[in-house]
Amino acid sequence: MLIPIPDLLSPAELARVRALVDAAEWVDGNVTSGPQAALAKRNEQLPETHPAAREAGAIILDALARSPLFIAAALPLKIFPPLFNRYAGGQNFGLHVDNAVRIQRGSEFRVRSDLSMTVFLEDPQAYAGGELLIEGLFGAQSVKLPAGHAILYPSSSLHRVTPVTSGARVASFFWLQSMVRDDGARRILFDLDRSIQGLVGEVGQGHAEVVALTGVYHNLLRRWADA
């Protein structure tokens, strides 16, 4: 499932992230590519150990921890430290699928990439092209969101970034391991959670049906979760 996360970053957080990454030195984006991705990838990236990348990444992680929508949709167990990329001058990333396991350089930290996330850091009017195209059961979906917004999608999806023909597309990207491996199970839990929250707004948290459905949610999570 594709889940947009609107306004993940506040204006102040977005400004701070951009100040950090814009002042840093960018390198060839293939520093984190696998062999297949390296054939298709043309962009720039901040080294994952760069102090600016770490500070900006911490801001994004703090924002994720505050987002009920992200928590409900992802049910995160482990999150790979956010990375940052930039596309300009016709750069693009051809059709590819993300590696199943991501390992942080110089450490034993690794995540199974159940979900991928892109946080857009540039206003869409400031660059041409640069759409994230994600292949799904009903064809490709094009994603180009306002700065500070994010998109969450299965890492198993074929996806690409179209050429940026003017301006520059700046974004953060990373992967996460969910407590619930199966995308279909996560979708059921997400839909149930949203329905419960809607019901809470109508009848209140203590209503018998809300309590019963909350129990169903947690029993399903207990059945499916690896935590």
Give SS3 for 183.
helix
Burial (CB count <10 Å: 0-12, 13-18, 19+), residue 215:
exposed
Report which secondary-structure segment, H or E, holds 72.
Answer: helix 68-74
Residue with tokens 């949610």, as numbered in its chain: 217
- What tokens were used for 69? 């929508």
Q: Compute the distance between CA of residue 121 and CA of residue 167 in angstroms, rounded to an integer.
A: 13
Number of Cβ within 10 Å of residue 89's Cβ equals 12
Q: Is 162 left (phi over 0), alpha (psi -120 to 50) or beta?
A: beta
- What tokens were used for 134? 């994600």
* Residue 110 assigned to a binding site: no
* Residue 169 assigned to a binding site: yes
- What tokens were used for 101? 């396991």
Range 152-187 burial, b when 16+ CB lie within 10 A, else e: bbbbebebbbbbbeebbbbbbbbbbbbbbeebebbe
Known binding-site residues for 2-oxoglutarate equal: 169
The annotation places the binding site at: 96, 98, 159, 169
**Where is the binding site for Fe cation, in residues?**
96, 98, 159
